[in-house]
Structure 1
Amino acid sequence: MNNQTLKSTTVLAKNPQYLYDDIFHEDSNENYKKAIQIARTCVSNFLKDNKTPFSGIKPEALQSIFNTIDFDKPLESYESLFEEVETLYVNHATAFHLPNYIAHLNCPVVIPALAAEVLISAINSSQDTYDQSAGGTFMERKLISWTGNQVGFGTDCDGVFNAGGSQSNLMGLLLARDYYAIKYLKHNIKIDGNPPEAKRFKIFVSEKAHFSNLKNSSLMGLGEQAIIKIKTDDRFRMIPDLLEKAIVKEQKSGNIPIAIIGTAGTTDFGNLDPLYDLGKIAKAYNLWYHIDAAYGCGLLLTNKYRHLLNGIESADSVTIDYHKSFFQPISSSAFIVKNKLHLNIIKHHADYLNPKDQDYDELPAQINKSIMQSTRRFDALKLWCTLRLLGRDKLGEYTETIIETAKKTAVMLDTENDFELLSHSDLGALVFRYRPESNKAHSTCMMNQHIKKTMFFSGEVLVASTKVNDEFYLKFTILNPITTINHTKNIIKTIRSYGQEYLQAI
């Protein structure tokens, strides 16, 4: 027996609880406090030390460090653990909170929500049944009701928190399919699977709608062929007249239109489909109307720009991503339906969890509303703490600031002769590229690819990119109220500088 084994055996003999010091329980409080303190220092260092949004480390350099890790040899202390975590992760984590990060739909987060994360993880409630969550059940339900009220739904609305917008879009499409089958075909898909008619089901979306619609249609057995993409206008918003023509065309072809999906904030352009007009068409043709407001849901918080969502109240279901536009940590999202009875379509009973004979007024169960998650984090607490401490209006002011910075940045890009802006934005996404007159003999796409890659590995500025008509473009996603017009002006200067550097080198 070696000295370390002898020491461990001696300590365990004197204190049987020693074996369980790393399990969170009443006798491990000191160990917990120590771990949390070191983690807090790690976060503080992340804030203090990061002056640029990325370290610039190359994947191969990071991989070489990971290759040295051996899980069969545990570390000896929390200090050494978090030192390793800093080396492998924290020192190279993308700093979404910095103004020079304007790449993807990652918002900075508010402190009350971060504090809530500590409680969520430690207490570890599961939101599927009342006996696992108690007050958490009612907190989630009240926040769902509040969100439905902001949307414009009545007291019959309902919903559930979930992992993200793609999952909410799946729920919307699934309800659309199953509702149509039950109401018009007298067929229960949940029990009997897709009916023969399902191969003729058609769902109408903008050509700029989220890719999850295609994936979800495939997962549901309808295939991507069920998705009909409708062309957009010069602001990349669905054109209602073309939508109606497409519906009529599919009907004449013997197909079965079942749903329209409107987009309240496209990922690339941050623009909203004409929601009111789409709602009128959905009603005229008796189609399920789902609105993907994963990005645009922040408009619910602002009085100045709330009108951009006019028509959202006519939807049958809505996707909300609090972790995109309510300044919440990932994940924090919700699926909301206007009529709570529609959620009965996805209800499934298990005797060990939510039996049929249970009184759900007496013992409510959120699992009856979820399609993919039984065990589910109490993410609603983050939004609860945020709204109770900061309030809707303050969050709305953040959103207004973001929109106004994006407007000023769009004007600046429009007036610069060497930049090409594709569209102004309702929210904060701007697609553009550097295109100086002197570049006519060279590839604009290759130059902008060089600019993005060089900025990324310098770590100083992170922007996104996309393709429009097979052409490569840069993209600003302004989602931080701390980002000002001076920041975006300097980023534009940096882009120009790398572009000129590229031209001089070829």
Structure 2
Amino acid sequence: MEKSFGEWFLHPSDKSENMYHTLMDKAVGLIADQTVRTNQPFSGASRQEIQSAVREMLTIPATGQKTDRVMEEIQNVIVKNSLWVSHPSAMAHLHCPPLIPSLAAEVIINALNQSMDSWDQSPAATYVETEFIQFFTKHIGYSDEADGVFTTGGTQSNYMGLLLARNKACQTHFSVNVQEEGLPAEAGRLRILCSEHAHFTVQKSAAQLGLGTNAVIKVATNDQKQLCVEDAKEKIGHLRQQGLLPFMIVATAGTTDFGSVDCIGDIAKLAAEEQLWFHVDAAYGGALLFSHQYRSSVRDLHLADSITIDFHKLYYQSISCGAFFVKHKQDFQQIAFHADYLNPEDDHEDGVINLVEKSVQTTKRFDALKLLMTFKLMGTDLFGEMVDYTISLAKETAKLLKNEPCFEVLNEPELNAVLFRYVPLHPFEDERYIDEMNLELQCAFYQSGELIMAKTKQAGKVYLKFTMLNPLNTISHMKTHIERMKQAGEKIEKEQGEIRYEYSVRD
């Protein structure tokens, strides 16, 4: 008996068209329904409840089930118990509410399903990415000699920065082509400098690249949590006295906890003096390129040898979407590799562009379309206003917290991150009680599902964090959240005090 697979693939037939419309309409309806019905960012379900529901759903049948039944399970088990990042009260991580143009672009990207490694697999898409990279290099302030490539995000982009810098350093200092010969024994002398608040991917990349985490030297920060150039200079001198080879320095434009932006111009000057590769991790702060009020923080970005920018953070694109940029396009030769079936060298004679030559990926998504649709529909002016609004909101929220004696604010927001903690009005002698109170505060609100905030540690103390990316949030919402946190903190403080009193009486 002949089987028919036609309804399951996109092709010219009524069955295919009907199936596509049915599933897409139901998926859109499911999300639209969740948008209307959700009044908080999380259901509050426990880990055990969610795991149990997922396990029950994952009974895979031999024969396909009815569409309505499957979509109902998806809604009740997955969507209902997911973190609704588009809710203004979801403020834990650098996890953005995606813009609707980005969501629409995803539909097109998924249906086209093009792989961005060679031109013949993605004819128009290759040129869209290439032109969009040039659009960004101009906004950065690079010359026509610059280039870049879309990536999965900050981890991959930072990895590429270290990879190019490592290969170039081995060529410069040891006359070794790492691509062909591998790492020389002398590579153990190579050192990378970064702020003590730099992203952990600097160390992770060093480990993956055979240099080891010990190759990463942490530099002290100033009161604004920015890399201290004087300390970096001093450490470079000490490293050279020990016979080691500092070859790279990493600045951060938007640290994960504080949102601090390092003094890029000063670090660039130091890098030039010391002949170091200068990489800027602007995964978070790269959106300031379009800011109307805060653009000056990244005005020196063009001085970097390489740059990381994430679009699935403050650019409000759906995951995953990022880019890696270099000041000199020839630096991509450090990782170029030719495969006869994919990107033969003679393609260059015909002017063919194969993006695999400047990527550590082979298969790669057409993510540039998301930004293209976003900027074409919104315009860069409105986008810049949106970024500025969230930063101003964070600054206002920090002021509100400072006005409450029971809260301690650790930073003056430079982007839209606010670090703070609840401090009892009647301090405990043991700081651990304060840490436990803040952990309990964060956990209680997560379990209630009404407010999602992150927890972190600074100087050994537990702090809470708002990452205020959502432009739909308001200062009125924040006043309500702060009042509820204050009440919850007072309740926890009272309970802790009663427990301590009972223990003291027993003793």
Q: What does 1:2-401 align with in structure 2 at a 5 Å threshold?
A: 18-27=4-13, 28-68=16-56, 69-359=58-348, 362-371=351-360, 373-401=361-389
What SS class does the counterpart of residue 462 from structure 2 fall into?
Answer: strand
Cα shift at 1:429? 0.8
Where structure 1 has 5 or more consecutive residues not aligned to the other structure, the ranges are 1-8
1:152–1:313 CA contact under 8 A, matched in 2: yes
* Superimposed CA distance per residue, residues 448-497 of structure 1 (whole angstroms, 9 cap, x where no aligned partner): 00000000010000001100111111001011111111122211112112
Cα shift at 1:82? 1.0
Provide the C-alpha distance between the structure 1 equivalents of 2:455 and 2:350, rounded to a whole number of angstroms. Answer: 49
**Percent identical residues:** 37
Amino acid at match of 2:37: D
2:259–2:414 CA contact under 8 A, matched in 1: yes
Cα shift at 1:152? 1.1
2:424–2:493 CA contact under 8 A, matched in 1: no
**Alignment pair present for 1:471 and 2:464:** no
- The 4+ residue runs of structure 1 with deviation greater than 3 A are 72-75
Provide the C-alpha distance between the structure 1 equivalents of 2:52 and 2:174, rounded to a whole number of angstroms. Answer: 58
1:439–1:503 CA contact under 8 A, matched in 2: no
Cα shift at 1:279? 0.3
What SS class does the counterpart of residue 183 from structure 1 fall into?
Answer: helix
Provide the C-alpha distance between the structure 2 equivalents of 1:66 and 1:94, rounded to a whole number of angstroms. Answer: 15
1:234–1:423 CA contact under 8 A, matched in 2: no
Worse overlay, 174-183 or 247-256: 174-183
Counterpart pick for 2:443 among 450, 453, 456: 453
Cα shift at 1:145? 0.8
TM-score under structure 2 length normalisation:
0.95
* Superimposed CA distance per residue, residues 300-325 of structure 1 (whole angstroms, 9 cap, x where no aligned partner): 11121100113211100000101101
Task: Classify 1:180/1:72 alpha carbon distance in 2 versus 1 (closer, same or farther; 3 Å).
Answer: same
Amino acid at match of 1:323: H
Cα shift at 1:26? 2.1
What SS class does the counterpart of residue 476 from structure 1 fall into?
Answer: strand
* Superimposed CA distance per residue, residues 397-428 of structure 1 (whole angstroms, 9 cap, x where no aligned partner): 00000110011111122222111011112101
* Superimposed CA distance per residue, residues 209-236 of structure 1 (whole angstroms, 9 cap, x where no aligned partner): 0000111000000000000000111121
2:50–2:81 CA contact under 8 A, matched in 1: no
What SS class does the counterpart of residue 150 from structure 2 fall into?
Answer: strand
Query: Counterpart of 2:476?
Result: 486
Query: Counterpart of 1:3?
Result: none
Amino acid at match of 2:488: Y
Q: Tell me how many residue pairs correspond in the alignment.
A: 491
**Alignment pair present for 1:412 and 2:412:** no
TM-score under structure 1 length normalisation:
0.95
Provide the C-alpha distance between the structure 2 equivalents of 1:433 and 1:243, rounded to a whole number of angstroms. Answer: 31
* Superimposed CA distance per residue, residues 20-62 of structure 1 (whole angstroms, 9 cap, x where no aligned partner): 3212222211111111111111111121111100001111011
Provide the C-alpha distance between the structure 1 equivalents of 2:347 and 2:263, rounded to a whole number of angstroms. Answer: 43
Provide the C-alpha distance between the structure 2 equivalents of 1:446 and 1:282, rounded to a whole number of angstroms. Answer: 43
Query: Counterpart of 1:5?
Result: none
Amino acid at match of 1:460: E
Cα shift at 1:361? 5.3
Query: Counterpart of 1:4?
Result: none
Provide the C-alpha distance between the structure 2 equivalents of 1:115 and 1:304, rounded to a whole number of angstroms. Answer: 30
1:294–1:321 CA contact under 8 A, matched in 2: yes
Provide the C-alpha distance between the structure 2 equivalents of 1:379 and 1:157, rounded to a whole number of angstroms. Answer: 20
Provide the C-alpha distance between the structure 2 equivalents of 1:45 and 1:73, rounded to a whole number of angstroms. Answer: 30
* Superimposed CA distance per residue, residues 143-176 of structure 1 (whole angstroms, 9 cap, x where no aligned partner): 1111111111111111110111010000000111
Provide the C-alpha distance between the structure 2 equivalents of 1:128 and 1:477, rounded to a whole number of angstroms. Answer: 35
Cα shift at 1:357? 2.1
What SS class does the counterpart of residue 33 from structure 1 fall into?
Answer: helix
Query: Counterpart of 1:6?
Result: none
Cα shift at 1:441? 4.8
Amino acid at match of 1:423: N
Provide the C-alpha distance between the structure 1 equivalents of 2:100 and 2:294, rounded to a whole number of angstroms. Answer: 25
What SS class does the counterpart of residue 249 from structure 2 fall into?
Answer: strand
Provide the C-alpha distance between the structure 1 equivalents of 2:398 and 2:5, rounded to a whole number of angstroms. Answer: 60
2:115–2:363 CA contact under 8 A, matched in 1: yes
Task: Classify 1:361/1:321 alpha carbon distance in 2 versus 1 (closer, same or farther; 3 Å).
Answer: farther
Provide the C-alpha distance between the structure 2 equivalents of 1:424 and 1:361, rounded to a whole number of angstroms. Answer: 54
Where structure 2 has 5 or more consecutive residues not aligned to the other structure, the ranges are 497-507
1:160–1:370 CA contact under 8 A, matched in 2: yes
Cα shift at 1:75? 4.2
Cα shift at 1:438? 2.1
